[in-house]
Structure 1
Amino acid sequence: MNRKLLRGEHLISTWRDITLTSHRVWQDAREGSSAALTSMPVDAVQWVRLGRHHLPWLLWLAAVTAVLGIAALEYDRMITYGLFGVALLLMLLYGTTRRLVLEIGAGAGKIVVQVVGEGASFDAALEFLYQVEGRRQVHVSGADARSGASASGAWPGGAGAGG
Structure 2
Amino acid sequence: MTTVYIADTGVFVRCGEPDNNKFQRLRRALRQADVSLRIPQRVYEELGGDPVADEYPSGNIPYPDGFEEGWIVVADELNYANPLVSTVMDKTRRFIASETDRDEDSIEKADTALVGLAAQLLDTGRADHVVLLTTDKPAGGAAETLLPQHGFSDRIEFRYVSVEYLETITAGEFQ
Q: TM-score range by the shorter chain?
A: under 0.3
Higher radius of gyration, 1 or 2? 1
TM-score normalised over the length of structure 1: 0.23
Q: Greater strand percent: which structure?
A: 1
TM-score normalised over the length of structure 2: 0.22
User: Which of 1 and 2 has higher RCO (CA within 8 Å, sep 6+)?
Assistant: 2
